[in-house]
Amino acid sequence: MVTTPIQPSQHPLAEYIYRLERGDALLKDTPDNLLEVVGILKSYGVVLDKYSNNLNYIGKHQFLVLFPFFKYFNGDVSFSKLLKHWWHDRINYEYAEYCMRGMLWHGGGKLDDYIDSQAFKANCDRAIQAKLKNNPFILGLNKIFPNFLLEQAKMSAYYAALGQFWRVMSDMFLSLSDRYDAGEINSIPDVVQHILDGLVADASRPITFEVDIKGEIYTIIPQEAGLTFLMETAVPYVEAVFFRGFPFLGTVSYNAQASQVPHEQGDFNYGALYADPLPVGSAGVPPTLLMHDMRHYIPEYLHHLYQNSLRGEDDLLVKICISFQKSMYCVTTAALRGLAPHGLDTQNPEEIMANRQFLEGWMSRFLSARMVDVNNDVLKL
């Protein structure tokens, strides 16, 4: 039996396809890359823990609170905490909301379908009546604009869903750091495998949403809805936050006549995999908030690497952004391995070609991303 030889890929990023096929990652496996990725994911895991707790708090306890002045306080409001908040000595929870709104706006997956269903509307209607039965003004406003409170409830559902997603990711990244410290993680492929194992382990974890109204629990998203961690939060999150995002105010014009914002939603490429580290270090650009948060929790070995580079800490946020993008290409590698139609280590020619077609489609989305740049970026000592 004659086996047809596998033809080389003609894709401009074929090198990265071959990397994945031989078990490597989209990021080069070097000691410095490993140190940067694990270190920044340690910091990110701590920040995600705080983001997750706050999103879950807002979803459950700020449901239909139209002016949530204290939503970032997690129920613990004090004068000293208020002073720190005004002084901006706090975690930038606004970035978590930026990601939540990105997921809500871009949509995708069964969660997006479910919040438009009659079952979701019926659950929300019961909660709305219970929450606002003594507020005839808002209920009257809701009759005039019947989607007004329903849209607020949809946003709360995404607060809760993203909070549950980040809970899993935070634990995954912190356990990665623990394994690295214990000498169990020794390469970039080890990092990818750890993330892939975590995604698979929690793939079927149910995404649910309940609110407590005057001591009674109202179910907004029941377990019977069949929403799960991987397909209803992880995949839409990658699409909305890694790839699409929103144009950053102040860096492009929203004026339609200027034509600086794409006409088609699917053409947005402002996500984490595309963001230029220099604008990310600028005020008003949402990812800058995340970089500020992560700088507080960088492990000493990564901090030492930054301090001994060419500019020291003068461009710390830029360095953090580059390290973060490197780590996200490791997460993306794990996601591609998990989503590929066949195992990437297959020797079956038909399966190899099916995988290659799948990977070429994804590589086309990386043509304008920073994948090549982060692979060529080495901190100058």
How far, in Å, are 51, 108, 308, 363 from residue 311 at the CA level?
30, 42, 8, 33
What are the structural domain ranges in the chain?
14-67+92-376
Q: What is the pLDDT of residue 193?
A: 96
Q: What is the pLDDT of residue 381?
A: 44
Give per-residue pLDDT as tens, 32-74. Answer: 999 999 999 999 999 999 999 999 999 999 999 889 989 999 9
For the whole model, what pTM was predicted? Answer: 0.93
User: Which region holds residue 107: left if phi is over 0, alpha if psi is between -120 and 50, else beta?
Assistant: left
Q: What is the pLDDT of residue 1?
A: 38
Token output for 246 = 């929103």
Q: What is the pLDDT of residue 197?
A: 95
What does the longest C-alpha to C-alpha distance in the chain come to? 79
Residue 264: CB atoms within 10 Å: 6
- CA angle at residue 101 from 372 to 197, to 5 degrees? 55
Q: Are 230 and 166 in contact (CB under 8 A)?
A: no
Q: What is the pLDDT of residue 376?
A: 86
Q: Are 287 and 295 in contact (CB under 8 A)?
A: no
Q: Residue 313 is which amino acid?
A: E
Q: Which ranges of the chain have pLDDT less than 50?
A: 1-2, 381
Short-list 321, 355, 318, 353, CA closest to 338 = 355
- Rounded to a whole number of angstroms, the CA Rg of the chain reads 22
Token output for 359 = 């990977």
Give per-residue pLDDT as tens, 205-249. Answer: 999 999 989 889 999 999 999 999 999 999 999 999 999 988 888
3-state secondary structure the chain: CCCCCCCCCCCCCHHHHHHHHCCCCCCCCCHHHHHHHHHHHHHHHHHHHHHHHHHHHHHHHCCCCCCCCCHHHCCCCCHHHHHHHHCCCCCCHHHHHHHHHHHHHHCCHHHHHHCCCHHHHHHHHHHHHHHHCCCHHHHHHHHHCCCHHHHHHHHHHHHHHHHHHHHHHHHHHHHHHHHHHCCCCCCHHHHHHHHHHHHHHCCCCECCEEEEECCEEEEEECHHHCCEHHHHHHHHHHHHHHHHCCCCECCECCCHHHCCCCCCHHHCCCCCCCCCHHHHCCCCCHHHHHHHHHHCCCCHHHHHHHHCCCCCCCCHHHHHHHHHHHHHHHHHHHHHHHHCCCCCCCCCHHHHHHHHHHHHHHHHHCCCCCHHHHHHCCCCC
Q: What is the pLDDT of residue 114?
A: 96
